[in-house]
Amino acid sequence: MEEKERVARILDTLEEHFPDARLLLEFNNPFELLVATILAAQAPDERVNQVTRTLFQRFPTPQALARASLSEIEEVIKSLPYYRQKARFLKESSSILVEKFQGEVPPDLSELTSLPGVGRKTASIVLANAFNIPAIAVDTHVARVSQRLGLASSSSPSKIEKDLASIIPPERWIRAAHLLGFLGRTTCLARKPRCPECPVREWCPSADSL
């Protein structure tokens, strides 16, 4: 079986098992998603959602967040890891959005990654989920599952992204990230994968060795 056919079967099967696979961060617009994704580094999505509900009530726009003091932002997000650094990222990024992009989140990878606290994964999440622009966001779950399924040979997120992009058609990139991520969250766990329960076990070269 060719690799493109194998990954197609994997994705088709995961679609049947996880039809509701999606991004778990809550957002209403590209700015909210950008902020939530910056805050989500090393933090559970559920906790981030709790924090952003309060944050967006107080600072609903880039202009409002840019005007806020660091101490005000820190007070709202202090339950999250690295909250001081993240507060600085939010304030600086919001200021740049206002000054350079007329208060709008740019739908462009290079422009997004020019913002403080925004790496390629964060930018890909925003492009895919806020703008529906084909992108593969490689988080820890996607990376782990891709390696175990033999879809990627490197541990580098950027190389994993390239490997996946070479065997998955662009129109499936967004769904692929969601589906692989859900498999990682529910079944292909980091410490103790549930191989007997895995819906794509028959196509997994790691199933008998984990």
Among candidate residues 45, 121, 162, 192, the one labeled active-site is 121
Specify the DSSP class assigned to residue 2. Answer: -
Among candidate residues 86, 91, 139, 163, the one labeled active-site is 139
Q: Taking a C-beta distance cutoff of 8 angstroms, is the pair 68, 59 a contact?
A: yes
20 is a catalytic site residue: no
121 is a catalytic site residue: yes
Buried b (16+ CB within 10 A) or exposed e, 87-121: bbbbbebbbbbbeeeeeebbeebeebeebebbebb
Specify the DSSP class assigned to residue 105. Answer: -
**Interacting residues of 161 by C-beta distance below 8 A, sequence separation 6+:** 120, 124, 136, 138
Phi-psi sector, 199: left (phi>0), alpha (psi -120 to 50), beta: alpha
Active site positions, annotated? 121, 139
